[in-house]
Amino acid sequence: MLAITVFPVVGAGAWGVAAATGSVRLPVGVVIAVAAVAGASLAVLAVAVTLLATYAAYRFELDPDDVVIPVVTNTCDVLGVVVLFGAVEVLV
């Protein structure tokens, strides 16, 4: 739920910075839509990765604090870029 409210604000802020520097190339609505779609998609994927990493750590009797946080952070970094490029391809 937080991603649905935060990412459009991030998109609007990014568009605002681009407008302030004179480098606007897309309408504000498109930028907000890309940010919202990418953010919501990434949030769903992040929850899935977190659940899988938690269950895997538990199954292999590993400390979830040592396993889950690094796995989720690294995976979501990569997925964030992939999802953002995918949203741009679909919406722009």
* Per-residue model confidence (pLDDT) at position 61: 92
Who's near 85: CB < 8 A, 6+ residues apart?
none
pLDDT digits 0-9 by tens, 35-85: 999 999 999 999 999 999 999 999 999 998 899 999 999 999 999 999 999
Identify whether the C-beta of residue 35 lies closer than 8 Å to the C-beta of residue 8: yes
Taking the chain, what is the end-to-end CA distance rounded to the nearest angstrom?
24
CA torsion through residues 21, 26, 28, 30, sign: negative
* Per-residue model confidence (pLDDT) at position 56: 93
Quote the DSSP letter at residue 24: -
pLDDT digits 0-9 by tens, 15-29: 999 999 998 999 999
Which amino acid type is present at position 86? G
* Per-residue model confidence (pLDDT) at position 39: 95
Domain coordinates in residue numbering, the chain = 2-19+26-91
Identify whether the C-beta of residue 37 lies closer than 8 Å to the C-beta of residue 85: no
Average pLDDT over residues 8-16: 95
Q: What is the pTM of this model?
A: 0.86
